[in-house]
């Protein structure tokens, strides 16, 4: 699995929405998300509309409009987001559980490459199915509070 720029931007936008999630939380303007995460506004609009179609975010139109998460961040896994934006989590289509396509090897059941790629797919699935937007937000908070690494200069 390789995360495209679209996939990365979707995760970054959802991070912002997750950080602002709470009881009675207001919508976050596209401009705010765009500036906070350095995402081109037009591209962000397309991504958020796509996430709205998937039921991951909700929108409010008008001057006071914007976006918010459609459900609690604890209920949104990175796997759901990535699958919606990118498609398969598998590195090759012959090991995908949701987007399977037959490969060109002579005997799929005895293919050594396929067996390794199944392990790779499973490792990725195990992580992104476990991590939610809430955990992503918690990691962000922890990293913001971590001491900055010391600069290393070599002359």
The C-alpha atoms of residue 76 and residue 15 are separated, in whole angstroms, by 11
- 57-115: pLDDT as tens digits: 999 888 888 999 999 999 999 999 999 999 887 777 777 777 777 777 787 778 887 78
Q: What is the CATH number of the domain that holds 54?
A: 1.10.10.10
Say how many Å lie between the first and final Cα of the chain, rounded.
39
Print the domain residue range for 48. 5-133
* Strands (E) located in the chain: 57-60, 66-69
The reply to whether 141 falls in a domain is no
Q: Compute the mean pLDDT over every residue in the chain, rounded to the nearest whole number.
A: 88
- Which residues, including other chains, have CB under 8 Å from residue 100's CB and lie 6 or more apart? 93, 94
Number of domains forming the structure of the chain: 1
The reply to whether 82 falls in a domain is yes
The reply to whether 149 falls in a domain is no
Widest Cα–Cα separation across the chain? 59
């Amino acid at each position: 699995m390789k995360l495209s720029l679209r996939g990365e931007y979707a995760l970054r936008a959802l991070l912002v929405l997750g950080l602002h999630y709470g009881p009675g939380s207001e919508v976050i303007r596209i401009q705010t998300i765009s500036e906070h995460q350095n995402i081109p506004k037009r591209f962000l609009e397309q991504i958020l509309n796509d996430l709205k179609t998937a039921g991951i975010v909700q929108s409010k139109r008008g001057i006071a409009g914007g976006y918010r998460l459609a459900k609690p961040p604890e209920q949104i896994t990175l796997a759901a987001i990535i699958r919606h934006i990118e498609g398969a989590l598998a590195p090759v289509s012959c090991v995908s559980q949701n987007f399977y396509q037959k490969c060109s090897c002579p005997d799929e059941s005895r293919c050594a490459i396929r067996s390794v790629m199944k392990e790779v797919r499973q490792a990725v699935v195990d992580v992104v199915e476990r991590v939610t937007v809430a955990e992503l937000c918690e990691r962000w908070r922890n990293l913001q509070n971590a001491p900055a690494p010391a600069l290393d200069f070599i002359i």
